[in-house]
Structure 1
Amino acid sequence: MPPNDASPRRRGRPSVLDTRAVAAGALRLWSERGYTTTSWSDLAEATGISSRTLLRHFSSRAEIAYLGVGPATSRLCEALDSASDHDDPSAVIRSAVVDSVSHDPRINRVAPDWLRLISAEPELAATAHLAYRPWIDTLADYIAHRLPDAPTAICRALATAYQAAAFAALVEWARSGAHGDCADTVDEMLRWMDIHAPVAARRDHAVPPTQQP
């Protein structure tokens, strides 16, 4: 998810780098000037942190753009760890994914700009699979725990599908005007992934028993 909003910081070498402030400052700058035309010097000016310090902490601008994925992964992990093995896995996953998006109003405020940036910039789209790998790994591990007989590839495919569905819901939310809570939009989207065939449909497609002579 996108970083929380934060006020610009004074330039200097902080003892502990405030990554939330860096990400928020970078997002504001990219929204105003564009991503590809923004230099490290521009980012230093916007964040109040020297280019040298930024380059020491971040290997690329894309790494800054995806800083919010780390906290989202932590929220996902906490939600999954707190669930019981007796709970319905689909409900647990849906709730955990929604928690990872967060109902924080500050995230709702910056999410539209972040989503437009991520979905529009080829460089960021190309690195999304790397940025979301920890999030997907966390969910795949939970699915493997609940479905011990499932192949590893299936668990990872399911986790990837949940990530793709959540992101699609967020992009649709942003493009339609960003009304309401983005986490609620994700919850609504993920409910379509809980497939429950009607009883009548299951009966109609059931294999008829062998008829005795």
Structure 2
Amino acid sequence: MTLAPGMPRRRGRPSVLDTDDVVAKAYRLWSTHGFAATSWQDLAAATGVSARTLLRHFPSKSDIAWLGVEPATERLTAALAATAADVPLGDAVRHAIAESVSHEPHVQRVSADWLRLISSEPELVAMAPAAYRPWIDELAGYIGRRLPEAPASVCRAIATAYQAATFDALLSWAELAPDIDSADAVEEALRWLTITVPAP
């Protein structure tokens, strides 16, 4: 991540932030000291990035905590767009969700710490519905395009159910089997879900 357009620059080398490294170190720190008890100075010491620079990129600590949802939504969008129209809807959704979780090693490394944090920290638990809304909206839109006869509320309910099932599968993975690929664990769990179109 580089400085946003219009942001003042200091002389010398441009400011560049390795967000993956910041996130991984922040999760480790929060898992040890707690989210609320960790100050910006603590984060700066753990990440090697000044508190001023961190605040320039992240207006709040929760912005660091939820940073992974946007790229997950982008992966979901790309996977759905690449799915052939003749793939059964349940298979298409399951595969795209697994791709949104990501097989990338750096994502795998921080996933367990992230899951423990956002499922136990009250401030972050309260933010979950808003944080997941773009992901759910993307999936609901795809389901609606595949099932044009389905009411929008039904498509959103299905997408929300898939998000809840995905999150629960990830929690189980973090607790029971963190050595396997989390995306594979999610895809296997979602095989138990089906989308059935009611008879006319």
Aligned length: 185
- Can you list the C-alpha shifts for 1:177-212, whole angstroms capped at 9, x where unaligned? 42422111111111111267xxxxxxxxxxxxxxxx
Unmatched 5+ stretches in structure 2: 1-12
- Can you list the C-alpha shifts for 1:143-182, whole angstroms capped at 9, x where unaligned? 1111112221111111111111011001011122424221
Q: Does 1:73 align with 2:49?
A: no
What do you get for the CA RMSD once the two structures are aligned?
A: 2.0
**What is the rounded CA distance, in whole Å, between the counterparts of 2:133 and 2:38 in structure 1?**
26
The CA deviation at 1:38 is 0.1
Q: What TM-score do the two structures reach when normalised by structure 1?
A: 0.80
Question: 1:139 aligns to what?
Answer: 139
- Can you list the C-alpha shifts for 1:90-124, whole angstroms capped at 9, x where unaligned? 10000000011112233323222221111111111
2:90–2:195 CA contact under 8 A, matched in 1: no
Question: 2:172 aligns to what?
Answer: 172
* Greater C-alpha radius of gyration: 1
The percent of aligned pairs where both chains have the same amino acid is 58
**What is the rounded CA distance, in whole Å, between the counterparts of 1:15 and 1:55 in structure 2?**
13
Q: What TM-score do the two structures reach when normalised by structure 2?
A: 0.85
Question: 1:189 aligns to what?
Answer: 189
Question: 2:87 aligns to what?
Answer: 87
Name the stretch that deviates more: 92-101 or 54-63.
54-63
* SS of aligned partner of 2:192: helix
* SS of aligned partner of 2:32: helix
Q: Does 1:29 align with 2:29?
A: yes
- Can you list the C-alpha shifts for 1:15-60, whole angstroms capped at 9, x where unaligned? 3433222212211211222211101111122222222222232232
